[in-house]
Amino acid sequence: MNGWRFVLSRRWAGYLALTIVFAIICVLLAMWQLARRDEAVAEINRVATNFDAEPTALSQALPQLDSYDPSQEWLTVSMTGHYLVDQQTLVRNRPLGGDVGFDVLVPFQLANGDVFIVDRGWVPTGQQQDVPDTIPAAPTGTVTVVARLKAGEPHLDNRGAVAGQIATIELPVLAAQVGLPTYTAAYGLLASEDPAPAERPTAMPKPVPDEGAHLSYTFQWIAFGVLAFVGLGYVVRQEFRRVNEDDPEEQERAAERERKRLAKKTDAEIEDEIIDRTR
Report how far residue 188's alpha carbon sits from residue 234's, in angstroms, rounded to the nearest whole number: 59
Does residue 66 sit in the same domain as residue 157? yes
Does residue 222 sit in the same domain as residue 273? yes
Listed in sequence order, the residues at least 6 apart from 265 whose beta carbon sits closer than 8 Å to its beta carbon are 273
Q: Is residue 39 part of a domain?
A: no
Report which DSSP code applies to 75.
-
One-letter identity of residue 1: M
Give the tens place of pLDDT for each residue, 205-242: 898 888 889 999 999 999 999 999 999 988 887 887 77
Q: Is residue 205 part of a domain?
A: no
In this prediction, residue 256 carries a pLDDT of: 64
Burial of 131 (0-12, 13-18, 19+ CB in 10 A): middle
In this prediction, residue 272 carries a pLDDT of: 62
Does residue 111 sit in the same domain as residue 30? no
Does residue 30 sit in the same domain as residue 131? no
Q: Is residue 43 part of a domain?
A: no
The DSSP bridge pattern shows strands 115-124 and 186-194 to be parallel
Report how far residue 183's alpha carbon sits from residue 66's, in angstroms, rounded to the nearest whole number: 6
Q: Is residue 201 part of a domain?
A: no
Does residue 62 sit in the same domain as residue 183? yes
Instruction: Check: CB of residue 77 under 8 Å from CB of residue 59.
Output: no
Does residue 150 sit in the same domain as residue 66? yes
- Compute how many other C-beta atoms are within 10 angstroms of the C-beta atom of residue 244: 19
Low-confidence ranges of the chain (pLDDT < 50): none
Q: Is residue 41 part of a domain?
A: no
Does residue 186 sit in the same domain as residue 216? no
Does residue 126 sit in the same domain as residue 66? yes
Count of domains for the chain: 2
To the nearest 10°, the Cα dihedral for 77, 122, 47, 44? -160
Report how far residue 152's alpha carbon sits from residue 174's, in angstroms, rounded to the nearest whole number: 10
Does residue 182 sit in the same domain as residue 242? no
Does residue 169 sit in the same domain as residue 263? no
Does residue 26 sit in the same domain as residue 98? no
Q: Is residue 74 part of a domain?
A: yes
Q: What's the CA angle centered on 84, arms 103 and 126, to 5 degrees?
A: 30
- Domain end, chosen from 194, 225, 259, is at 194
In this prediction, residue 12 carries a pLDDT of: 82
In this prediction, residue 133 carries a pLDDT of: 86
In this prediction, residue 164 carries a pLDDT of: 78
Report how far residue 178's alpha carbon sits from residue 167's, in angstroms, rounded to the nearest whole number: 17
Does residue 72 sit in the same domain as residue 187? yes
To the nearest 10°, the Cα dihedral for 259, 260, 264, 265? -30
Q: Is residue 12 part of a domain?
A: yes
- Domain end, chosen from 127, 159, 194, is at 194
Point out which residues pair with 23 in neighbouring strands. Answer: none
In this prediction, residue 263 carries a pLDDT of: 67
In this prediction, residue 275 carries a pLDDT of: 63
Report how far residue 275's alpha carbon sits from residue 269's, in angstroms, rounded to the nearest whole number: 10
Q: DSSP E strands: which ranges in the chain?
A: 56-57, 76-83, 89-96, 99-110, 115-124, 143-151, 165-166, 186-194
- Name which of 148, 117, 142 is nearest 195 in CA terms: 142
- Domain end, chosen from 145, 162, 194, is at 194
Burial of 236 (0-12, 13-18, 19+ CB in 10 A): middle
Residue 14 phi/psi, 5-degree rounding, is -65, -40
Provide the residue range defining the domain that includes 216: 5-34+212-278
Angle (deg, nearest 10), helices 214-243 and 10-50:
170
Determine if residue 254 is left, alpha or beta; phi over 0 gives left, psi from -120 to 50 gives alpha, anything else beta.
Answer: alpha
Q: Is residue 204 part of a domain?
A: no
Give the tens place of pLDDT for each residue, 72-89: 999 999 999 999 999 999
pTM more than 0.85? no
